[in-house]
Amino acid sequence: MEFNGDILTIDIGMSMEEVEEFQEFIRPRIDYIETIEADEDDALRCSALLALLVSLKRTKPELNIPFLEKKKLVSQKYGTIHWICHD
C-alpha cells in the first residue's frame, strides 16, 4: 500500500491475510481517502479483495475505485476476468 495525498494505491496480488490487514487499516481511514488505485502488475489472488472493494464502495459511494469500475482484469496467468457489481 502506498499513500499519495488522498489516493491509496494497493497491489491486487494480496493474499487473504493481507486483505484482512488491509481491511483493518482502511475501515477507520475511509473518510480521508478519495481514490483507491490498483497496481495490476500482479495476478488477483483472492476474490476477498473484490468483495472488500465493493463493500467500501457501498459504504462510501463517492469513493473512486477505477479498478472496480472497469469490471474486468486482463491477466497473463488467467486471461480476462469479468465481474458484475450491483449498486
Domain spans of the chain, in order of start: 2-82
| pTM for this entry | 0.86
Amino acid making up residue 74: V
Kindly give the interhelix angle for 47-59 and 16-26, rounded to the nearest 10 degrees.
Answer: 10
The reported pLDDT for the residue numbered 41 is 80
DSSP classification of residue 31? G
Amino acid making up residue 80: T
Residue 21 has pLDDT above 80, yes or no: yes
Residue with the larger pLDDT of the pair 28 and 85: 28
The reported pLDDT for the residue numbered 87 is 58
Residue 86 has pLDDT above 70, yes or no: no
Q: How many CA atoms lie within 13 A of 54 on its CB side?
A: 12
